[in-house]
Amino acid sequence: MGDERWDRLSAAAKALEERLAVSPRVAMTLGSGLSAAFGTPDGGRVIPCSEIPGFPLPTVVGHAGDFWSGAIGRTPVLVQRGRVHFYEGRSLEEIVFATRLFALVGAKTLIVTNASGAINPELVAGDIALITDHINMLGANPLHGPNLDELGLRFPDMSAAYTPRLRALARDVARSEGIDLKEGVYVATLGPSYETPAEIRAFRAMGADLVGMSTVPEVIAAAHAGMDVLGISIATNLAAGVNPEASLNHEEVIETTRRVAADVRRLLLALVERL
């Protein structure tokens, strides 16, 4: 008997391929508030996620529920506008469904974006940062359980999960565009509550610069599938306790994303054109 996970992925990949404007070389997952910020590039095709069998639909404000398929410059791209999160009660299999789908329809590179809290005091709200590495504090791994041999090896190497070549390219593009691009290690927590000041102090001691509630499962799944990965995070607020007088709320996350949206969009478009 075949693996039901593989059967679901195969059916979804077939449905998606039938709707694509181009066969993608690059896939992109847009985080909180970035769906609207990125917009819909000229040409291409919008594909509602609801048309893809088995695809989990986002429920959080700031996350759209569709794909955009088309070319940016000469690069064929598939953009996922909005993601689902572990804290929504989803399984990790659902969280990484889109990432595995990207691999099955031919994407070799994954760009992941997110909103995060700044742990490192050298970061401020509105900073755009490359993710250099991550710490998984979700308490789970999307590769747990029987391996999907059709996608990758049982024990994937995570030592360079965020591809150094792509980070170098992003730094070069940011300089060309006049965008100040920071860097940092991202720690993923379960949420949906924001972290306590004591937790943030612990994460800082562990070497984390940014904290959020997404991205890590997708990156693990991408590494398992042999994809190159670039991670870009928007520090939308200072993490708990960094500014003792500040409070945290999702509206602030969305508003800060809107404030830096033009720079993020310009960076992503220029990056993709060189991939």
Known catalytic residues? 32, 63, 85, 87-88, 115, 213-214, 237, 250
Kindly tell me the sign of the dihedral angle through the C-alpha atoms of 163, 167, 169, 173: positive
**Cβ proximity of 125 and 256 under 8 Å:** yes
- What CA–CA distance (Å, rounded) separates 148 from 152? 7
Helical H segments across 23-182, by residue range: 34-38, 92-95, 97-104, 164-177
Percent helix, percent strand, percent coil in the chain, to nearest 5? 35, 25, 40
End-to-end CA distance of the chain: 40
Let me know how long the chain is: 275
Cβ within 8 Å of residue 194, ≥6 positions away: 117, 240, 248
- The DSSP bridge partners found for residue 129 are 182, 233
Question: Token digits for 101?
Answer: 């789908």
Number of helices (H), then strands (E), belonging to the chain: the values are 8, 9
From residue 36, how far is each of 43, 253, 273 by CA, in Å? 17, 14, 20
